[in-house]
């Protein structure tokens, strides 16, 4: 899927270049600002408010010179769901409706720098580096009934929560379709350290319990290809 997206990006760029080969393209100058969205065209649910939705990130760049830029990529997502686990009784039944509710919040930021090369009037290849910082928190609420048939809750926090830190060395290309408007692709090599949060469980009665069972930290390193199509505008 990542290669398919990359090929689509390059095909769209080639079509635009062949259609207007004589058009002059203006690249960013010192002080220019850039806003970019990273679009996943092949997702199953484009309206999902998470990293797997249509928009996987937003990037801002500030060009300190025509060939150097500061960058900040951010992704903020929130999801919430509710499932009925027991329906309310009918007639004289005292059975209560019970639900399980869950939510997740994720924030990732990636500040970095870029060095651009001459390329052509339409192509702006670059290399760069960025720092990766992020966290994910989760919350689950399970309803049940007590001995008096009252609805009570068991709250579990951070069953899948974690803290993330890392760094990437990257390379990419901006392909300008018209003055100041481009699409692009990016790949690189990175490392990341993930530290899970302790799971905290608050039963209907009693104190909150904390557990670090199966909560080992992990370290990963390797190459990556950005699956999203980068679409940006210089202003």
Predicted TM-score (pTM) of the model is: 0.80
Please tell me the predicted confidence (pLDDT) of residue 54: 76
Measured distance CA(114)–CA(137) in Å, rounded: 31
* Chain segment 172-184, per-residue pLDDT in tens: 999 999 989 999 9
Please tell me the predicted confidence (pLDDT) of residue 23: 52
Please tell me the predicted confidence (pLDDT) of residue 30: 92
CA atoms within 13 A on the CB side of 39: 11
Please tell me the predicted confidence (pLDDT) of residue 48: 53
Task: For the beta carbon of residue 99, count every other beta carbon within 10 angstroms.
Answer: 14
Tokens coding 118 = 């001459």
Residues of the chain under the 70 pLDDT cut: 1-25, 42-53, 91-92
Measured distance CA(38)–CA(47) in Å, rounded: 14
Measured distance CA(228)–CA(174) in Å, rounded: 14
Candidates 196, 194, 192; CA nearest to 220 is 192
**Beta-strand runs (E) in 40-122:** 55-65, 68-86, 98-116
Please tell me the predicted confidence (pLDDT) of residue 137: 97
95 close to 88: Cβ distance less than 8 angstroms = yes
Please tell me the predicted confidence (pLDDT) of residue 32: 94
CA 133 to each of CA 31, 89, 167: distance values in angstroms, whole numbers, following the listed order: 26, 48, 9
Please work out, in degrees rounded to the nearest 5, the angle formed at the alpha carbon of residue 38 by the alpha carbons of 36 and 44. Answer: 155
Please tell me the predicted confidence (pLDDT) of residue 120: 86
H/E element holding 174?
Answer: strand 162-178
Please tell me the predicted confidence (pLDDT) of residue 226: 84
Measured distance CA(68)–CA(66) in Å, rounded: 6
- Domains of the chain by residue range: 2-234
């Amino acid at each position: 899927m990542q290669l398919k997206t990359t090929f689509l990006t390059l095909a769209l760029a080639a079509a635009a270049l062949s259609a207007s080969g004589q058009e002059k393209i203006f690249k960013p100058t010192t002080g220019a600002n850039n806003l970019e969205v990273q679009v996943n065209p092949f997702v199953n649910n484009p309206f999902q408010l998470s990293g797997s939705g249509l928009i996987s990130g937003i990037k801002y760049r500030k060009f300190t010179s025509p060939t150097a830029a500061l960058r900040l990529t951010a992704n903020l997502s929130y999801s919430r769901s509710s499932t009925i686990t027991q329906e309310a009784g009918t007639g004289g039944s005292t059975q209560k409706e019970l639900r399980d509710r869950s939510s997740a919040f994720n924030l990732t930021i990636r500040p970095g720098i870029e060095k651009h090369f001459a390329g052509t009037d339409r192509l702006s290849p670059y290399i760069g580096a960025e720092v990766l910082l992020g966290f994910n928190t989760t919350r689950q609420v399970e309803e049940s009934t007590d001995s008096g048939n009252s609805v009570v809750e068991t709250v579990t926090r951070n069953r899948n929560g974690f803290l993330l830190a890392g760094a990437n060395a990257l390379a990419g290309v901006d392909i300008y379709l018209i003055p100041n408007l481009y699409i692009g692709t990016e790949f690189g090599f990175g490392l990341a350290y993930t530290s899970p949060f302790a799971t905290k469980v608050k039963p209907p009665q009693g104190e909150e319990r904390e557990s670090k069972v199966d909560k080992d930290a992990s370290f990963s390193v390797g190459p990556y290809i950005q699956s999203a199509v980068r679409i940006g505008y210089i202003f």
